[in-house]
């Protein structure tokens, strides 16, 4: 039986920067992620738990599973965060699938819990997908799983379809079997190259997820191939049933800003039937600061369209 953690109520802050700092300080030991941290740091130095005097901070009301994929031939770490009351209730819950769980699972779990407490969103399960490997292999595998084959970007591309098959045929059925999920109510969350993956999924497997939170997507990848995919989709479809929150920081690189602004213009011009779309260019935010704010706003938006 999991021990239910009920955090003390805090006064709602109008200062989003202070909110983000509180999230980070509460959940993260300095220089580390949650229990599924990288085996190496950003500088490449080995950070063994055995070399520290005290144990790592653990994320309460959560559990870790492992799932070996027959499609990608990789064993993924699957992190699950439960809403308060999961063990004492019989309800079923929407699932929010979060990519890049190595560094954002703690953040997303906490934000979800606070929004649930404020009744901004319904109770949800947060499922993080992590690689549980060293820093270099994380970025290599992340790029491979998130992208179609590209002669521009080389060997570490081309695994997007096997990864999609892993989600569709392996992970989602596993989560639906092991936990009390509300089947057919799934959200996908990505940042940077995994946000590109979310866009890819939107136009290639549009029914796999019903809600999308897309943060700072790498739409520049392979000379903007995603725009070609959207064009092909638009030529055959007038409908796109999804709730999509899309955001990039205005302080990001020129190519991030320009491609994101282009994407927003195109999607708004299509007027897809069934699409609830919010394209937000965030002032004062850069590639590494935007995610907590965008995830918060994203959850509020996509769950406002039940």
Phi/psi of residue 251, each to 5°? Answer: -95, 15
The DSSP H or E segment spanning 96 is strand 93-98
123 assigned to some structural domain: yes
293 assigned to some structural domain: yes
Q: Which of 22-26, 38-42, 148-152, 300-304 has the highest mean pLDDT?
A: 300-304
Q: Which structural domain, as residue segments, surrounds residue 279? A: 60-302
The alpha-carbon radius of gyration of the chain (Å, integer) is 19
CA–CA dist 35, 80 (Å, integer): 12
Residue 62 pLDDT grade (very low, low, confident, very high; cuts 50, 70, 90): very high
Q: Which two tokens stand for residue 245?
A: 């929150």
The DSSP H or E segment spanning 14 is none
Residues 6 or more apart whose CB falls under 8 angstroms from that of 30 comprise none
17 assigned to some structural domain: no
Residue 274 or 27, more confident = 274
Least confident range of 55-59, 85-89, 148-152:
55-59
Residue 31 pLDDT grade (very low, low, confident, very high; cuts 50, 70, 90): very low
Helix axes 193-204, 135-146, angle to 10 degrees: 20
Rounded (5°) CA angle 158-161-167: 130
CA–CA dist 6, 236 (Å, integer): 49
Average pLDDT of every residue of the chain: 88
pLDDT digits (tens, 9 = 90+) for 38-52: 444 444 444 555 678
2 assigned to some structural domain: no
pLDDT given for residue 56 in this prediction = 85
Do 237 and 269 meet the contact criterion of CB atoms below 8 Å apart? no
Helix, strand, or coil (residue 306): coil
Mean pLDDT over residues 15-24, rounded?
50
Residue 113 pLDDT grade (very low, low, confident, very high; cuts 50, 70, 90): very high
Q: Return the percentage of the chain with pLDDT > 70, whole number.
A: 83
Strand ranges across the sheet with 273-282? 62-68, 75-81, 125-130, 93-98, 181-191, 211-215, 239-249, 273-282
Do 275 and 94 meet the contact criterion of CB atoms below 8 Å apart? no
Mean pLDDT over residues 163-175, rounded?
98
Least confident range of 44-48, 125-129, 151-155:
44-48
CA–CA dist 121, 301 (Å, integer): 9
CA–CA dist 48, 67 (Å, integer): 24
pLDDT given for residue 9 in this prediction = 40
CA–CA dist 67, 129 (Å, integer): 10
pLDDT digits (tens, 9 = 90+) for 222-281: 999 999 999 999 999 999 999 999 999 999 999 999 999 999 999 999 999 999 999 999
Q: Which residues of 153-187 are buried (b: 16+ CB within 10 A; e: fewer)?
A: eeebbbbbbbbbbbbeebbbeebbeebebbeebbb
Q: 3-state SS string over 255-291?
A: HHHHHHHHHHHHHHHHCCEEEEEEEEEECCCCCCCHH
286 assigned to some structural domain: yes
Helix, strand, or coil (residue 208): coil
pLDDT given for residue 49 in this prediction = 57
Least confident range of 6-15, 106-115, 126-135, 181-190:
6-15
Residue 185 pLDDT grade (very low, low, confident, very high; cuts 50, 70, 90): very high
Give me the CATH number covering residue 237.
Answer: 3.40.50.1820
52 assigned to some structural domain: no
Alpha helices (H) along 118-192: 135-146, 160-166, 172-178
With CA atoms as reference, report the closest residue to 221 among 139, 140, 150, 141.
150
For the chain, the domain total comes to: 1
């Amino acid at each position: 039986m999991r021990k239910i953690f009920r955090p003390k109520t805090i006064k709602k802050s109008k200062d989003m920067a202070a909110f983000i700092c509180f999230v980070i300080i509460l959940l993260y030991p300095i220089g580390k992620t949650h229990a599924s941290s990288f085996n190496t740091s950003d500088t490449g130095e080995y950070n063994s738990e055995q070399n520290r005097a005290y144990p790592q901070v653990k994320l309460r009301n959560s559990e870790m599973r492992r799932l070996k994929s027959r499609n990608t031939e990789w064993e993924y770490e699957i992190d699950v965060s439960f809403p308060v009351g999961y063990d004492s209730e019989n309800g079923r819950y929407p699932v929010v699938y979060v990519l890049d769980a190595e560094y954002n699972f703690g953040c997303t779990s906490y934000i979800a819990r606070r929004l649930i407490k404020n009744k901004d969103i319904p109770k949800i399960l947060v499922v993080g997908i992590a690689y549980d490997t060293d820093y270099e292999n994380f970025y290599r595998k992340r790029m491979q799983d998130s992208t179609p084959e590209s002669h521009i970007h080389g060997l570490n591309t081309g695994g997007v379809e096997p990864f999609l098959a892993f989600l569709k045929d392996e992970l989602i059925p596993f989560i639906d079997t092991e936990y009390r999920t509300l089947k057919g109510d799934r959200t996908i969350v990505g940042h940077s190259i995994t946000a590109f993956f979310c866009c890819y999924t939107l136009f290639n497997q549009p029914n796999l997820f019903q809600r999308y939170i897309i943060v700072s997507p790498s739409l520049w990848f392979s000379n903007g191939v995603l725009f070609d995919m959207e064009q092909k989709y638009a030529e055959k479809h007038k409908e796109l049933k999804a709730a999509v929150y899309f955001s990039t920081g205005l302080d990001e690189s020129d190519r991030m800003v320009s491609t994101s602004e282009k994407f927003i213009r195109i999607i708004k011009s299509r007027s897809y039937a069934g699409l609830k779309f919010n394209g937000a260019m965030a002032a004062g935010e850069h590639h590494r600061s935007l995610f907590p704010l965008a995830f918060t706003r994203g959850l509020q938006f996509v769950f406002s369209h039940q």
